[in-house]
Structure 1
Amino acid sequence: MKRIVLVITLALFVLTGYSQPLTVRTKLIKYTNELMEVDLHIPIISGATNQAFQRNVNRLLRKQSLDLKREVEKQARENAVLSKKQGFPYRLHSAVSRFTVTYNKNGILSIPVTLYSYTGGAHGMTVKVPNTFDFNTGKQLQLSDIFKKGSNYKQVIIHEVITQIKKESDVYFDNAIDVVKNMPDNQPYYLTNNGIVVYYGLYEIAPYAAGIREFLIPFSTLQPFMKITLS
């Protein structure tokens, strides 16, 4: 009986383990019409043993880009009508999405998606959507999911971010440190091969011109608090 259990356990490990990175391809949707230009790079994941979770992930990633297109398209129609009524020139709207595979090891995939929209006005808006998935457990990982319950990980991250802010304090709003001190459990982040990057969107802690502010915290600093092995 022990031998049978051992064989089953080993077989399960082979079936669910990820010795190779997942495959990520790009679906491109690109066109321009009288209302807007669309340039979407949508990631498509393959190679997972958990096919149901893989389908859910692909559906989510596709939705992020297509929702952007729909929102800009709706705004474009409304603004085109308004420009004719009020006699001001219509500016071509834009919906652009890009993704970067920042971590892809042992069934854990981090793939932030950047969404850019322009709907008239002085400048467009950029939003970075955090996407980190554990294909071993079939779960999307929030920042808190990476660390042991009750550990002091958040204070360590906050300390590291504040240290980096102080090195170029003139870039940030006066209340930037206060915002960082109130870091939520679902703080946006992504993984890299060197560590965890937490980030803040446009206007959150710095002016628009400063862009999305990102802070790398090395794995070596966070390892004592982590329940998931990352490297």
Structure 2
Amino acid sequence: MQTIEQRTLEDTMYLGQIPVFVYQIHYPFFVTTCNEAAARAINEYYAQAAKKAEKHCRTVLYKQAAENAKYIPFNSPPFNSYTFDVSYKVTFNTGCLTSLYMDTYLFMGGAHGETTRTSDTWNFNTGMKLRLNDFYPLNFVTLHSLQKNLEKQVEERLKITPSSYFDNYSSLIQNTFNPNSFYLQPDGLVIYFQQYDIAPYSTGTPEFSVPSAI
């Protein structure tokens, strides 16, 4: 079994007196009763990813924010700080199996920011990351069946909320389907798509529950 602590890297970066860039990177730290060496490797994976994201914030994104902010040196009108936020949610944590997703929100000016989702499912006995095929064996027939299941769910949603998905959602589901875009929950699997893959921004990150084949 795993217990999870939250670790955070954060800072507010200034140009003169103007807070131009704010980042907050949350990531998990695991303690397990399964395999301590596996937990150390998984913890290092997330720690290194967080440090890499922080370096990108400090060396790339901050410079972009400062470049735009320098044109309003007196902060009038007030500069809307650019932001980078990483959050995570543990969706399954039973025995030696843990599944979670991480959402990265980036705002760099404009009407709104964008969110990118990633997910991981770990075996804390081995320290190995599990794949969709470990829970829903994929071949031509099962993949076709899975995508048809997703299409039917979209059809039902459109009856309730018209225009919440693009008109060509059927072909988009096939073209943008990513077998790495899944996580576990107690009653099965969730397949998700990125913003704009199959739906407009207002729909957010489309998620679909499907039963595990195992």
TM-score, normalised relative to structure 1: 0.76
Change (3 A) 1:25 1:41: same
The root-mean-square deviation of aligned C-alpha atoms, in Å, is 2.5
Match 1:161 to one of 150, 160, 164: 150
Could you report, residue by residue, the CA deviation over 1:190-222 in whole angstroms, capped at 9, with x for unpaired residues?
A: 000011000001110011111000001134xx3
How far apart, CA to CA, are the structure 2 residues paired with 1:116 and 1:193? 26
Partner of 1:52: 37
Q: Does 1:197 align with 2:190?
A: yes
Partner of 1:130: 119
Structure 1 segment 208-223 matched on structure 2, within 5 A:
208-219=201-212, 222=213
Shift of 1:137: 3.4
Q: Does 1:80 align with 2:66?
A: yes
Shift of 1:184: 5.1
Helix, strand or coil at the partner of 1:33: strand
Which residue identity does 1:75 align to in structure 2? L
Shift of 1:149: 6.5
Partner of 1:116: 105
Structure 2 contact 176–197 (Cα < 8 Å) conserved: no
Partner of 1:11: none
Which residue identity does 1:84 align to in structure 2? K
Structure 1 contact 173–206 (Cα < 8 Å) conserved: yes
User: Which one is further off, 150-159 or 40-49?
Assistant: 150-159
Change (3 A) 1:149 1:119: closer
Q: Does 1:31 align with 2:48?
A: no
Which residue identity does 2:21 align to in structure 1? M
Partner of 1:188: 181
Helix, strand or coil at the partner of 1:116: strand
Shift of 1:185: 6.2
Shift of 1:101: 1.0
User: Which one is further off, 98-107 or 24-33?
Assistant: 24-33
Helix, strand or coil at the partner of 1:171: coil
- Unmatched segments (≥5 aa) in structure 2: 15-19
Structure 1 contact 42–62 (Cα < 8 Å) conserved: yes
- Unmatched segments (≥5 aa) in structure 1: 1-20, 227-231
User: Which one is further off, 77-86 or 136-145?
Assistant: 77-86
Shift of 1:68: 3.2
How far apart, CA to CA, are the structure 2 residues paired with 1:137 and 1:151? 29
Match 1:174 to one of 150, 167, 182: 167
Could you report, residue by residue, the CA deviation over 1:172-200 in whole angstroms, capped at 9, with x for unpaired residues?
A: 11222112234656240000001100000
Change (3 A) 1:209 1:63: farther
Percent identity, aligned pairs only?
25
Helix, strand or coil at the partner of 2:197: coil
How far apart, CA to CA, are the structure 1 residues paired with 2:202 and 2:111? 12
Count residues with an aligned counterpart. Answer: 201
Structure 1 contact 158–183 (Cα < 8 Å) conserved: no
Change (3 A) 1:160 1:53: same
Structure 1 contact 171–210 (Cα < 8 Å) conserved: yes
Structure 2 contact 85–106 (Cα < 8 Å) conserved: yes
Task: Specify the structure having the higher radius of gyration (Cα).
Answer: 1
